């Protein structure tokens, strides 16, 4: 999948080529954390202008294993606008296969960085899912860590 076209349109209006490795059939984009944050910022701006939504997947070993037998999950990952390597085993596998990813980019690192940037850009962050009260508690923690951020959980 290296150099193929997948995901969203670029700022120039053409489809954005993504340099991705296939990790056991699952795409994982070769982006650094900073590049992922820049792409997500672009997704937010493009979505505001068009109403389009974008999907970012944090691919870990569990995703890769489950995508082997779960066609719905595999299709979600294949259609995602950005898939980052959420774990060193994913990075190591890419190296073994000869298409090394430059670094691990975890959701646990991306979310706080996005919340931090949200203050500067006026973004609102919504957390949803998990057991009742978990998203709300996470939102409270993030607002405490990043005063002025607009983070809500449902």
Neighbour count for residue 145 (Cβ, 10 Å): 12
Q: Give the tens place of pLDDT for each residue, 5-25.
A: 445 444 443 334 456 778 899
Name the nearest CA neighbour of 129 among 141, 144, 139, 119. Answer: 139
What's the predicted TM-score (pTM) here?
0.84
Residue with tokens 């489950």: 66
Q: Give the tens place of pLDDT for each residue, 64-96.
A: 999 999 999 999 999 999 999 999 999 999 999
Enter the tokens of residue 14.
């053409």
Residue 113: strand, helix, or coil: helix
> How far apart, in whole angstroms, are the C-alpha atoms of residue 127 and residue 153?
5
- Report H helices in 53-106: 61-67, 71-79, 88-96
CA angle in degrees (0–180, nearest 5) for 11-116-105: 65
Average pLDDT over residues 123-138: 93
Question: What is residue 15's predicted lDDT score, i.e. its pLDDT?
Answer: 32
């Amino acid at each position: 999948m290296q150099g193929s076209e997948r995901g969203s349109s670029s700022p120039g209006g053409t489809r954005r080529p993504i340099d991705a490795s296939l990790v056991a059939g699952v795409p994982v984009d070769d982006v650094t954390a900073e590049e992922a944050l820049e792409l997500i910022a672009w997704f937010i701006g493009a979505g505001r202008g068009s109403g389009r939504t974008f999907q970012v997947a944090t691919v870990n070993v569990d995703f890769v294993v489950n995508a082997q037998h779960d066609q719905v999950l595999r299709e979600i990952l294949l259609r995602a606008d950005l898939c980052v390597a959420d774990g060193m085993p994913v990075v190591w596998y890419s190296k073994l296969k000869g298409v090394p990813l430059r670094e691990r980019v975890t959701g646990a690192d991306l979310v706080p960085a996005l919340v931090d940037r949200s203050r500067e850009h006026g973004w609102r962050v919504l957390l949803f899912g998990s057991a009742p009260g978990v998203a709300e508690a996470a939102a409270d923690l993030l607002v405490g860590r990043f005063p002025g951020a607009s983070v809500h959980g449902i």
